[in-house]
Amino acid sequence: MSKLPPLLALAAFLVAGACASYEKSDTQQATTAAQVDFDFLPIASETLPRLLQLNDRIFSGAEPKVELAFAELQKLGIKTIIGVDGARPKVEWAAKYGMEYVHIPIGYDGIEAAQANAFARVVSQKPGPYYFHCHHGRHRGPAAAAIGFMADTQCGPEGGIAVLTKAQTSKNYPGLWRDVEAFVMPAASAKVDLPAIAKVSDFDGAMAKMDRAWDEAKLIQKAGWKVSAEHPDLDPQRTALILAQTFEDLNSITPRRYVNEQIFQEQMQIALTASSALTQALAVNNVSNADAAFEKVRKSCKSCHFEYRDQ
Ligand code: HEC
């Protein structure tokens, strides 16, 4: 870019914000070129953090956790929700608010071709508008939405990359960026599976559960390990116990591929010891020990994921 003459550089900058989408006429010939803008709209929401509108049919954001979130999705007109993390989708609430779920869990290390095909097809096979979500709405959800957006608008990779940029998807997940950039429309003959509830391995399911307990632990830590007025429903002891118990469960179902992995085993031991230390510290109200144990658990999540999950 730095080598371009100033005017060309400016032109390159300007076209980065839009793409031309060729709408098909009745005769199926590409006729009119419509401009698709990349000025995606963040929407403030109490129940759906990181809610982002990509166009009039495609939204991305965090998991709808409470019933009010489903009511909000209904108000946005959403008809199909696409969940891409390992937690079981709340299909009952979706149905209550007239929406359908499609569950395609993906890893942080990238999007497989069959999964990308499913994200591309869901926007033509299921009724829209669509809400793509992972747990926090920052990495995997926007990556899936980026593919849905490219399929819906016929924009090239610049459209998908613009979605990840706007959603602030982390560059620590290079596989997500790589696979969004490499996306090509599936062949008409490609078969896709769009289940409402996907089969998830016990280990992934337990990790997804852990992630939710960990969110609670973060809030409780911020409140000085006390029940806070802001989150009266969060009980420090109970959350710490769930964390410790979930690490015990995870350890007992370690997938074979990690059994002889030294870093995995080391970090699992640290997580087990530290989460158990956290419950003990809270039992005697020792805030500084609780902080120290919390920090050890946090580092174990990071180290283990860096090695085995994220790329
Ligand atoms: C000892 C290793 C290890 C530790 C410690 C660990 N994880 Fe994981 N985690 C993994 C691996 C490996 C995967 C990917 C599983 C796979 O793809 O097979 C994963 C997957 C996940 C996922 C994705 C699940 C999904 O939705 O598909 C989340 C979320 C997660 N971990 C959260 C956490 C949190 C939060 C912590 C700490 C409180 C933590 N993990 C601690 C190894 C670990």
pLDDT in tens, the chain (311 residues): 444 444 444 444 444 488 887 655 455 555 566 789 999 999 999 999 999 999 999 999 999 999 999 999 999 999 999 999 999 999 999 999 999 999 999 999 999 999 999 999 999 999 999 999 999 999 999 999 999 999 999 999 999 999 999 999 999 999 999 999 999 999 999 999 999 999 999 999 999 999 999 999 999 999 999 999 999 999 999 999 999 999 999 999 999 999 999 999 999 999 999 999 999 999 999 999 999 999 999 999 999 999 999 99
The pLDDT of residue 7: 44
Alpha carbon distance 78, 57 (integer Å): 8
Token pair, residue 75, equals 């108000």
Alpha carbon distance 31, 248 (integer Å): 60
The pLDDT of residue 34: 77
User: What does R_g of the chain's alpha carbons equal in angstroms?
Assistant: 22
Token pair, residue 101, equals 């779920």
**Cis before 105 (ω within 30):** no
Token pair, residue 52, equals 């982002």
Residue with tokens 């994921």: 305
Give the residue whose CA is nearest to atom 8 of ligand 1.
Answer: 207
Give the residue whose CA is nearest to atom 21 of ligand 1.
Answer: 207
The pLDDT of residue 29: 52
Residue to mutate (ligand 1; options 207, 268, 269, 275; most atoms within 8 A of CB): 207
The pLDDT of residue 3: 46
The pLDDT of residue 2: 41
The pLDDT of residue 193: 96
Task: Quote the distance between the C-alpha of residue 177 and its chain's center.
Answer: 13
The pLDDT of residue 201: 96
Give the residue whose CA is nearest to atom 24 of ligand 1.
Answer: 208
User: End-to-end distance of the chain based on CA atoms, in angstroms?
Assistant: 28
Alpha carbon distance 61, 292 (integer Å): 32
Residue 99: count of CB within 10 angstroms of its CB: 20
**Residues of 128-157 as b/e, b for ≥16 C-beta within 10 angstroms?**
bbbbbbbbbbbbbbbbbbbbbbbbbbbbee
Alpha carbon distance 208, 214 (integer Å): 10
For residue 92, report the distance from its CA to the centre of ligand 1, in Å. 26
The pLDDT of residue 21: 72
The pLDDT of residue 17: 84
Give the residue whose CA is nearest to atom 31 of ligand 1.
Answer: 207
Torsion of CA 155, 156, 162, 164, to 10 degrees: 110
Q: Which residues line ligand 1 (CB under 6 A)?
A: 85-86, 105, 107, 203-204, 207-208, 210-211, 214, 264, 267-268, 271, 297, 300-301, 304-305, 308-309
Q: What is the residue type of 298? A: R
The pLDDT of residue 282: 97
Alpha carbon distance 53, 39 (integer Å): 9
The pLDDT of residue 167: 98
For residue 120, report the distance from its CA to the centre of ligand 1, in Å. 27
For ligand 1, what atom is nearest to the CA of residue 271?
5
Instruction: State pLDDT tens for residues 172-198.
Output: 999 999 999 999 999 999 999 999 999
The pLDDT of residue 23: 57
- The residues near 135 (Cβ < 8 Å, ≥ 6 apart) are 62, 63, 85, 87, 208, 211, 212
